[in-house]
Amino acid sequence: MAPPPPNEDNSISSNDEHRPISTIVIIIAMQTEALPLVNAFQLTEDTNPLLFPKGTPWVRYHGSYKALNVNIIWPGKDAVLGVDSVGTVSASLVTYAAIQALKPDLIINTGTAGGFKAKGAAIGDVYVASEVAFHDRRIPIPVFDLYGVGLRKGFSTPNLVKELDFKVGKLSTGDSLDMTPQDEASILANDAVIKDMEGAAVAYVSHLLNVPTMFVKAVTDIVDGDKPTSEEFLQNLSAVTIALGKAVTQVVDYISGKSLSDL
């Protein structure tokens, strides 16, 4: 028998689409964002020294929850500075390592985001991203410009967003918490309602390795408001993180027993 044709459009095969989802990987950049979920799903830390390369601070929490093999991957603390390894570099590395090690059926990249009130975002809103793109990779040469933007779709979950009543909007990613005027122009061009520091990097890797990925982000700060971003972010982080934990628990509860095509 001839081998099946390759997945030229990078879509999942129809077999995979219709079988129950079994393994999920949740990628979260900050420990504060991860811990409510580790508790909600009663996960334990993986102590296998062979899971990730020696010396990396990457952490896997795992366990069985409602018939799902649930994994939370946190890039850990910077070895020198002791702060969470936020941003696109760590996010892409842990996404790659987690896919290689765990072969997930679905990735959920979750965390906090800045929101644009002009586009309808408010503090505490939870968004599922329809598309993700970068806003700080400016390469003004034809076609390289598009490569820099790196636009990718989030895995489409129309039934889930309807049932759980989440907002849907575009996400723009960059390696800074603040926003320069050039970033702002690119975010507007991306038509984004929220901005984060990991989403498009996770999407780049999961698209390369053909793993469906959804993005669930909760708004901690209003980017086009009057408060300084870092102040507003820190002020709202713990409350919004609790709301995010509830939202992601609802997502995982919804996914349990379903196939990708049910979402």
**Among the listed residues 235, 222, 248, 262, the one whose alpha carbon sits nearest the alpha carbon of residue 115:** 222
**Among the listed residues 98, 99, 59, the one whose alpha carbon sits nearest the alpha carbon of residue 77:** 59
**Which of 131, 196, 221, 232 does the annotation list as catalytic?**
221
Q: Which stretch binds ligand ADE (CB under 6 A): 14-22, 121-129, 183-191, 193-201?
A: 193-201
Q: Does the annotation mark 221 as catalytic?
A: yes
Beta carbon of residue 57, minimum distance to ligand ADE (angstroms, whole number): 20
Q: Which stretch binds ligand ADE (CB under 6 A): 41-49, 87-95, 134-142, 194-202?
A: 194-202
Alpha helices in the chain, H assignment, sequence order: 14-18, 31-40, 88-102, 144-149, 158-164, 181-189, 199-208, 229-255
Q: Which stretch binds ligand ADE (CB under 6 A): 53-61, 135-143, 218-226, 248-256?
A: 218-226
- Read out DSSP for 108-134? EEEEEEEE-GGGT--TT-EEEEEEEEE
Beta carbon of residue 127, minimum distance to ligand ADE (angstroms, whole number): 12
Tokens of 143: 């076609």
Q: Does the annotation mark 33 as catalytic?
A: yes
The reply to whether 114 sits near ligand ADE by the rule CB under 6 A is: yes
The reply to whether 177 sits near ligand ADE by the rule CB under 6 A is: yes
Which positions from 126 to 165 touch ligand ADE by CB under 6 A, shown as an x/- string?
----------------------------------------
Alpha-carbon span 182 to 260, nearest angstrom: 38
Q: Which stretch binds ligand ADE (CB under 6 A): 87-95, 141-149, 159-167, 219-227?
A: 219-227
The reply to whether 241 sits near ligand ADE by the rule CB under 6 A is: no
Tokens of 183: 């970033």
Please return the burial class of 98, using the count of CB atoms within 10 Å of its CB with bins 0-12, 13-18 and 19+: buried
**Which of 33, 105, 196, 198 does the annotation list as catalytic?**
33
Pair 32, 110: CB distance under 8 Å: no
Tokens of 188: 């507007």
- Phi, psi (rounded to 5 degrees) for 168: -120, 135
The reply to whether 110 sits near ligand ADE by the rule CB under 6 A is: no
The reply to whether 229 sits near ligand ADE by the rule CB under 6 A is: yes
Tracing tokens 């329809």 back to the chain, one arrives at 130
Tracing tokens 């896919």 back to the chain, one arrives at 99
Beta carbon of residue 174, minimum distance to ligand ADE (angstroms, whole number): 7
Residues with active-site annotation: 33, 221
Contact footprint for ligand ADE (CB under 6 A): 112-114, 177, 195-197, 220-221, 223, 229, 233
